[in-house]
Chains A and B, each alone.
Chain A
Amino acid sequence: MKKEVKKPVLAVGPFHPLQEEMEFFQLTLDGEKVTDIDVRLSYNHRGIEKISETLQFDQIPYLISRICGICSASHPLAYVQAVEELAGIKPPPRALYVRTIINELERIHSHLLWVGLGGHFIGYDTVFMWAWKYREPVLDLLEEITGNRNNYGNVRVGGCREDVPNELIPKILKELDEIEKKTEMLTKAVLDDPVLHARLKGVGILKKEDAIRYAVTGPTARGSGVDIDVRRDDPYAAYGELDWKVIVQQEGDVFAKAVVRLLETFESIKIVRQALKKLPDGPITAEVREIPPGEAVGHAEAPRGETFHYVRSDGGNRPIRHKVRAPSYVNVPSFKASCIGQDIADVTLTLAAVDPCYSCTERLAVVDRCNNITHTYETILQLSRQKTTKIMKELGVQGLKMEDLRIG
């Protein structure tokens, strides 16, 4: 009979919320390399699509912005775009710009969050603290505009709920300047740090053909040379009227994905600046009568990739079917292609590079069949950090410190 031995739990850090028991990803090891992965969803399944059928069209944005905390602007946007397409409603121009501004501010804080997490997984806790500290001003701005740091509830069928007051614009621009300076510092530090090069390059490679077979989207796809971005391909909100670049890298490794996210943050800052400058006057909501029978799709580029919604109506005031597809749903399975053959020490990083919901990354367990050991998440995290320390020793450098992240 197989005897399962749990490795002793190592107390990790001052901070990370960890879950011991809830295995979500189970990886199988052969020696030091991953050979297979099994995934069990269900812990977060709340039956949202069925709940949607019990709500009216204008109540649904509140439900679906709570699908995922960090994509909480993109889900309602994709949904209302579907309903507006179904009903032939055109939101007024100012509403389109406000939607763009909110969504790009969300992208900025989401990417900074990711950078912090990535830093944590490899043992760069100063990067974590720093990135999350400089995320706060963005959250404060969002709170000033919409009333909440997350779950903005700002999008409605036909337009927006809260406007960006013109008096607030100088403050937003000033904050963006600060954030840009900080992000420049961080980007330069990441791109120049030899330890990060050694730690992240060549790790967790997702090849382009796998990226296509797994139909990944967002930075996960763009880091593997797949040039797709819903904002450019099927323009919505005000993206078609603004000047910005889609960032693509070819290597497909964790480093490439980090570069995509960092450079995208600059593009987002650019977009918000332009949107504020060109913000047209006028109302922020159009009149909505009934939603006629029919069906439509709506998609938006969330920080993680494409959110996709399908809505079908029979003319009543509730949808008869509402399909929701979050970007992580297509990105996370690609973990199978990018993780097989990886070292156990690189597993958290590879998964984090796909940028699933934060809680998903915690639910990782690795089964070592040969030695009958189950490694819990904490152990794997420690291994990742130990690998970074080893690389630092080999290169004879200290790696990023807080002093490096100061403006000159």
Chain B
Amino acid sequence: MNQQELNSRISEIKNKVTAIEQKADNRIYIPCEAGNSYAVCKFLFEDVGARFCTATGIDSDDCFEVLYHFSYDRTGCVITVKAFIRDRKNPAIESITPFLPAAEWIEREIHDVLGIDFINHPNLKRLILADDWPQGVYPLRKEVKK
């Protein structure tokens, strides 16, 4: 589908998300609550046919964000789902690895460096931090300095 058709396809999920922001011709950002990110990502992968690029975990002072980046290669559009995790004490979000094996590593990495729990992840063990890295220290959290 072309960009116009893509835009109208994406608007099908507008009731699950906070907004659909078009920052440029080929850059769309979809903020939503963490509880809905699974459904939105599944929709983008299975229904829209977008390719999963990567995920970014961010420590944003009052919340955590997990950004899932997808690329719709036919039009070169990058669609970013911004999932907000409000609970800072026990941050958790549903893993998308069960339907998207490509996300396995990056969710493990975000778990290592930010301490976010990915519910239903099939293999949530340590990936990039050393075997002897102390438990409970999450290097990408703001409070951790070198």
Contact = CB atoms under 8 A, between A and B. Distances in A.
Chains A and B touch (C-beta atoms under 8 A apart): yes
Interface of A: 40-42, 45, 47, 49-50, 85, 212-217, 228, 230, 233-235, 295-297, 299, 306, 308, 310, 312, 321, 323, 325, 329-330, 333
A333 B102 contact: yes
Contact of B54 (A50, A85, A235, A308): A308
B27 interface: yes
B52 A215 contact: yes
A60 B106 CA distance: 22
Overall SS of chain B's interface: mixed
Contacts of B76: 230, 233-235
Interface string B21-62: 001101101000000000000000000000111101010000
Contacts of A323: 54, 56, 67
25 contacts: A40-B127, A45-B128, A47-B139, A213-B102, A214-B102, A215-B52, A215-B53, A217-B51, A233-B71, A233-B73, A234-B73, A234-B78, A299-B53, A299-B78, A308-B53, A308-B54, A310-B56, A310-B67, A310-B69, A323-B54, A323-B67, A325-B54, A330-B53, A330-B54, A333-B105
B103 to A, nearest CB: 8
A127 B127 CA distance: 36
B74 interface: yes
B101 A308 contact: no
B1 interface: no
B139 A50 contact: yes
Contacts of A297: 27, 69, 78, 80
Contacts of B71: 233-234, 299, 306
A321 B55 CA distance: 13
A305 to B, nearest CB: 11
A151 B133 CA distance: 30
B17 interface: no
B10 interface: no
Interface of B: 23-24, 26-27, 29, 51-54, 56, 58, 67, 69, 71, 73-78, 80, 100-102, 104-106, 126-131, 139-140, 146
A238 B5 CA distance: 27
B58 A234 contact: no
A140 B80 CA distance: 40
Contacts of B104: 333
Contacts of A41: 105, 127-128
Contacts of B56: 310, 321, 323
Nearest to B51: A215
Given A228-B73, A233-B74, A333-B104, 5 more contacts: A214-B101, A214-B102, A299-B78, A310-B67, A325-B54
Contacts of A299: 53, 71, 78
B27 A228 contact: no
Contacts of B52: 215
B140 A308 contact: no
A321 B54 contact: no
Nearest to B104: A333
B105 A329 contact: yes
B128 to A, nearest CB: 5
Nearest to A44: B128
A26 B106 CA distance: 19
Contacts of B129: 42, 45
Contacts of B23: 296
A289 B78 CA distance: 26
Contacts of B75: 233
Which 10 pairs show the lowest CB-CB distances between chains A and B?
A: A234-B76, A215-B102, A325-B54, A323-B56, A215-B52, A233-B73, A233-B76, A45-B128, A228-B73, A308-B53
Contact of A42 (B67, B77, B78, B128): B128
A73 B71 CA distance: 22
Contacts of A217: 51
Contacts of B58: 312, 321
B27 to A, nearest CB: 7
A37 to B, nearest CB: 12
A216 B53 CA distance: 9
Q: Which of B26, B52, B73, B126 has the most CB of A within 10 A?
A: B73
Nearest to A322: B56
B27 A296 contact: yes
Nearest to A221: B51
A234 B26 contact: yes
Contacts of A214: 101-102
Given A214-B102, A296-B27, A297-B78, A306 B53 contact: yes
Contacts of A330: 53-54, 102
A265 to B, nearest CB: 23
